[in-house]
């Protein structure tokens, strides 16, 4: 009997000194399933260990970059499931992006929600096209942006962070550039790759050591925050995902109805 393996959820291509990693699970809007997180970490590790790779581009297939947690997967788990383990997996993924010794460019032209915001914030530079929208939707589901705050909060001014974390409102690429979440908002989808290519060309002019040490300098304080705060934030995340209120929020989202607290 032939064993059927699940389809891969991350597509990887390496050429001309660059590894292109695409979230490739459009059936669930590139949600952060256990499988996708595992494959993404493996792809990053492979890029790190390949001396021919000078930079990584993190992108997506379909109209959504990343919808955040896989709510179908999360809501189907029994109460008491080790949600802490999943929080730790996401923390390790965000850490891997920020600690990678090579620049990571986010290339986005689609929707970014919740946990996907953590991936965007972990990238060193980010280009977003006109089809991109962003939202930190956790509070609307009975959750909080616990784990991803490790990368998102350092990118944002305090007032912008309060607005985005507490409202869950959607905002466009221009606003994301204004508040520091992304590096460049591009007016035309046709020009997104051109903007990414400009960054890649600049990186190619730099030495591998120079890039690695400069990135270490830039991310030192953020990575120190991982060590200091991971237990507190992972515990909060796992507690909230297991709560009755969050289960109602996730169920309401999946059933396309207002949660019981919405008026």
**DSSP 8-state code for residue 255:** T
Query: How far is 219 from 239, CA to CA, in rounded Å?
Result: 28
Phi (first) and psi of residue 195, to 5 degrees: -65, -40
β-partners of residue 23 are 10, 60
Select which of 138, 194, 198, 248 is catalytic.
Answer: 138
CA distance from start to end of the chain: 54
Residues 6+ apart with CB under 8 A from 263: none
Place of tokens 């507690």: 239
DSSP assignment of 4-22 equals PPPPPSEEEEEETTEEEEE
The H or E element containing residue 162 is helix 158-167
Closest-CA residue to 127 (of 105, 148, 102, 156): 105
Positive or negative CA dihedral for 231, 104, 52, 39?
A: positive
Query: How far is 135 from 180, CA to CA, in rounded Å?
Result: 14
Query: How far is 67 from 108, CA to CA, in rounded Å?
Result: 13
Judge whether 244 counts as a catalytic residue: no
DSSP, collapsed to helix, strand or coil, labels residue 189 as helix
The set of catalytic residues is 138
């Amino acid at each position: 009997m032939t064993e059927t393996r699940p389809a891969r959820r991350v597509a990887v291509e390496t050429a001309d000194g660059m590894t292109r990693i695409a979230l490739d699970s459009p059936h669930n809007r590139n949600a952060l399933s256990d499988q996708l997180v595992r494959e993404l970490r493996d792809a990053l590790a492979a890029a790190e260990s390949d001396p021919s790779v000078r930079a990584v581009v993190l992108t997506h297939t379909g109209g959504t970059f990343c919808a955040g947690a896989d709510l179908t997967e999360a809501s189907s788990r029994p109460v008491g499931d080790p949600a802490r383990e999943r929080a730790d997996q996401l923390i390790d993924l965000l850490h891997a992006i920020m600690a990678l010794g090579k620049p990571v460019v986010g290339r986005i032209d689609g929707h970014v929600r919740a946990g996907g915001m953590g991936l965007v914030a972990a990238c060193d530079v980010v280009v977003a096209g006109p089809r991109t929208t962003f939202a930190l939707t956790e509070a609307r589901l009975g959750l909080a942006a616990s784990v991803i705050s490790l990368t998102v909060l350092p990118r944002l001014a305090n007032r912008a962070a309060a607005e985005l974390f507490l409202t869950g409102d959607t905002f466009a690429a221009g606003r994301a550039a204004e508040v520091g979440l992304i590096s460049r908002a591009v007016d035309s989808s046709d020009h997104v790759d051109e903007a990414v290519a400009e960054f890649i060309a600049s990186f190619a002019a730099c030495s591998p050591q120079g890039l690695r040490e400069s990135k270490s300098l830039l991310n030192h304080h953020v990575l120190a925050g991982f060590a200091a705060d991971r237990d507190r934030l992972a515990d909060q995340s796992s507690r909230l995902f297991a709560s009755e209120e969050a289960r109602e929020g996730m169920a309401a989202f999946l059933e396309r109805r207002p949660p019981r607290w919405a008026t």
